[in-house]
Amino acid sequence: MLRTACIYNGTPKEFGERVSVMRRHTDDDGKTPDPMIVEGKSFHRWEPELGAPGWLVAWWYKGNLQPGANKLQRWMAFEHDYRNYLRRKDVLGKARKLGEEALNRDIVILCKERLPTFCHRNVLADIIRHEVPNLVVRHVIPEEG
């Protein structure tokens, strides 16, 4: 099974290997290491190539992926460009391999976003599900509290 979750929320051991699919592990400035993300604790493995390219992340967070557009319109532009990136032969192969691994053992892919809405891991999971049709995908939604 493949799950998606927020890297800041602990996930039970039975959810499997924790794989970061973030391009970088930094604060919002893109430079300062995020002290809350610790290899071996927050994640077991890092697959930065499966994260959105740096230029796309910067555009999304700066809000200039279509100036004047609302969040949904900006998201649609981001998702389009990220899907195109994931379809590159080298990246798609890594995504497929991760999905095939998840057929044999549980894996949870992680990034900073709390919810899968407007989150690249949701798009990545969708691409993986299409590449590995028998794969079950679940999004871990944190409880309000």
Biggest CA pair distance of the chain: 45
Helices (H) and strands (E) in the chain, counts: 4, 5
| Other CB atoms within 10 A of residue 35 CB | 8
For the residues 16-32, what does the mean pLDDT come to? 91
User: In one letter, which amino acid is 75?
Assistant: W
pLDDT higher than 70, residue 57: yes
Check if the beta carbon of residue 21 is closer than 8 Å to that of residue 124. yes
Q: What was the pLDDT predicted at 58?
A: 80
For the residues 75-84, what does the mean pLDDT come to? 94
CA distances from 29 to 4, 25, 33, 39 (A): 24, 11, 9, 20
Instruction: Could you list the beta-strand ranges (E) of the chain.
Output: 2-6, 17-20, 45-46, 107-111, 137-139
Q: What is the pLDDT of residues 84-137, one digit of tens each?
A: 999 999 999 999 999 999 999 999 999 999 888 889 999 999 999 999 999 999
Q: What was the pLDDT predicted at 65?
A: 58
For the residues 29-58, what does the mean pLDDT come to? 92
pLDDT band (50, 70, 90) for residue 29? confident
Using only the alpha carbons of the chain, give its radius of gyration.
Answer: 15
| Other CB atoms within 10 A of residue 83 CB | 14
Tell me which of 27 and 94 has the higher pLDDT: 94
Q: What was the pLDDT predicted at 63?
A: 66
First to last CA, the chain: 27
**Is pTM, for the whole model, over 0.75?**
yes
